[in-house]
A and B are shown apart, each in its own frame.
Chain A
């Protein structure tokens, strides 16, 4: 018997159509959200090109191109619909590039993009199924693979004098000068050496906020990243509680335990503004796929990220811990979702049992 005949025998559907939630639709879609997140990262990306020159741009383009090519190749091979234009691969590539040191060798971003897309995303089933943040898996993968290249940082071209015009004029040049990042100096030489390298405490805060300092491509300009994050909060793509919980936890804990002289002598502003904390808190810890579903769960997620970040920064071997903290909390996400669930609509609180 041909299979077609059996399907023809099935009764016609009744008029009552039953579908599962969600029932309310609006104009938001994955594609739109992804491209808007990409746009909010753009100012910080442009700033990094000014700050580090053409090598930064090359790294970014390599990451994005690698991610797109990898995603398209896997979807073609698995005979699935090729969804490169939805912007998620571009976002992964861009976020990965933002976590890399500028001017890294050309093949490292490509390997990172492969790890992010092929290992972290598509082995789990593609967009929406990944357990871990793909961009951070890519970074962790190449951090373990090429530790030297991943810790060689180009010098900020804008520098301590705030020389924007000078940086723009030599944007196309290559330079071989390297320097440690603020957190690297803090780890190896201590707080006083860090302050004196900027020429004063206020100058240091200013540099951390504006971004004329060394570091990964996208993490230098805190103010532009915060602006991008505020746009996402205003559009209700992310909840303000998450970055506040994460950055706040880091601030409180580093203030309490960061100082050498005793409790509450640390410098919370330095820790809150340096490293990948801002980009991690606004763009990675708020990822829709890899974080808990409820607001309460997301706040726990943010606090956990902050806690692990501080542990690694103050007591661990690496100067920076945002990447690993978010990955570790990704692993705990299903557990959080299991124990923190929303109250059912209209449900009453459990009556108190009297003995």
Chain B
């Protein structure tokens, strides 16, 4: 099994936010600035990797009928660890993320990876899959956060980039802005994929391929 492929598939091809459309709630709620988006992304990356490893380790022991409660308990334990760590070392971020940190327990992407991948694969591939999916999630959060903070506040990571002449449209850092930005990114990704496919077909026809 190609481990590198397991890692990179989560970045673009199966990006949790833009492709699988899972865990859109944090992608809307905590991406109004880059710092929060990054914090949430890394937290989810940690939780998803640890949970994948635990689920994968015990995959032959857990009875299929009770697997979901078991997964949830595992996720909840890891999230509690992450929350306590953040509260101790990053109190400001902890306060900013607020309720959404506790809600990591019910993020669809974490349960989905446990169910789809970790329950059927060995520990090392599961860990790589969790890292890749977490990285893809963080990447998505960062892209959304950068766009929203840049347009909606004229800053990046809290540093003011655009001067005082810039009057930001507030809607971009409000909830509707999150929907609009995510919608546009997914739209552009679909569009570029479609155009790539068309180009490929065209070049195949030009090369004299059979139809």
Contacts and interface: CB of A to CB of B under 8 A. Distances in A.
Contact of B210 (A1, A123, A142, A147): A1
B167 A119 contact: no
Q: How large is the interface on A (under 10, 10 to 19, 20 to 34, 35 or more residues)?
A: 10 to 19
Contact of B171 (A3, A107, A141): A141
Interface in A1-39: 1, 3
B167 A144 contact: no
A339 interface: no
A3 B176 contact: no
B171 A123 contact: no
A3 B174 CA distance: 51
A105 interface: yes
B183 A144 contact: no
Nearest to A111: B169
B171 A145 contact: yes
B181 to A, nearest CB: 11
B116 interface: no
Nearest to B169: A145
Contacts, number: 27
A121 to B, nearest CB: 14
A81 B25 CA distance: 38
Interface in A137-191: 141-142, 144-147
Given A3-B205, A119-B180, A123-B183, A146 B211 contact: no
Contacts of B169: 111, 141-142, 145-146
B211 A144 contact: no
B170 A145 contact: yes
Interface centre among A105, A141, A142 (most CB of B within 10 A): A141
Contacts of B174: 144
A3 B202 CA distance: 12
B98 interface: no
Nearest to A1: B211
Contacts of A111: 169
A41 to B, nearest CB: 27
Contacts of A147: 170
Interface in A229-286: none
Nearest to A6: B211
A76 to B, nearest CB: 15
Contacts of B170: 144-147
Contact of B167 (A1, A3, A105): A105
Contacts of A145: 168-172
Contacts of B187: 123
Contacts of B168: 145
Contacts of A1: 210-211
A147 B180 CA distance: 19
A144 B210 contact: no
A147 B171 CA distance: 10
Interface string B180-203: 100110010000000000000000
A221 to B, nearest CB: 30
Which of A1, A123, A144 neighbours the largest number of chain B CB atoms within 10 Å of its CB? Answer: A144
Nearest to B180: A119
Given A111-B169, A146-B167, A3 B180 contact: no
Interface of B: 167-172, 174, 176, 180, 183-184, 187, 205, 210-211
8 contacts: A1-B210, A3-B205, A105-B167, A111-B169, A123-B183, A144-B174, A145-B170, A145-B172
Please provide the 10 A-B residue pairs with the shortest distance between their CB atoms, ordered closest to farther. A145-B169, A144-B171, A145-B171, A145-B170, A141-B171, A111-B169, A3-B211, A144-B174, A119-B180, A144-B170
